[in-house]
Amino acid sequence: MFALNLPQYPIKVTRRDGKVFVFDELRKKYVSLTPEEWVRQHFVHYLIRQKGYPPGLVANEISLSLNGTSKRCDTVVYDRQARPRVIIEYKAPQVAITEKVFTQISRYNIILKVDYLIVSNGMQHYCCRMDYATRSCMFISEIPDYDDL
C-alpha cells in the first residue's frame, strides 16, 4: 500500500475474488484491506512490539451502544483487570486529524471512561491523557508504554 510513520513488519496479505485482505492477528482472521485497516494493523503491531502492549489485552472493533445507536471503537486496550484504559481511532493517511476526529473518539469515551485517547492516520499520532477531576485532557508527546498506563 504505502509507507507510514510506523515500523514496518511482515504483514500477511492475500487476495480472494479480486479483493485484498490482511490478517488481523488480534481477531485471528483476514479482513478487508482498506487504507484505515493498513494503519490499524501497523499501529497495533507497533503497540505490541515496541510499546509492550500484551496482545490479549488489545481488541479491535469493539461495539458500543451510545444513545441508542451502535458504534464501534477501532481499538481498545485493557488493563490486567479487563478495564478499558485506552481508545484508539484510526483514519486513512490522507485524512487529516481534526477536531471532528477527537469529537468522535470523545463520544466513545462517554461510555468507556478511559485514561488515554489516541488518534492516528499512520503519519501523525496524537495521544491525550484524560483528567476527570478537572474535566480536561492533556496532550502528551509520546504514546505511553503499556507498563506506564
pLDDT average, residue stretch 77-106: 95
Domains of the chain: 35-148 (3.90.1570.30)
Residues 6+ apart with CB under 8 A from 101: 89, 91, 119
pLDDT average, residue stretch 34-52: 98
Residue 80 has pLDDT above 90, yes or no: yes
pLDDT digits (tens, 9 = 90+) for 54-72: 999 999 999 998 888 899 9
8 Å CB contact between 97 and 83: no
pLDDT digits (tens, 9 = 90+) for 108-148: 999 999 999 999 999 999 999 999 999 999 999 999 999 99
In this prediction, residue 1 carries a pLDDT of 75
8 Å CB contact between 69 and 75: no
Torsion of CA 34, 37, 68, 83, to 10 degrees: 170
In this prediction, residue 122 carries a pLDDT of 97
Confidence band (pLDDT; 50, 70, 90) for 29? very high
* Cβ neighbour number for residue 99 with a 10 Å cutoff: 8
In this prediction, residue 141 carries a pLDDT of 95
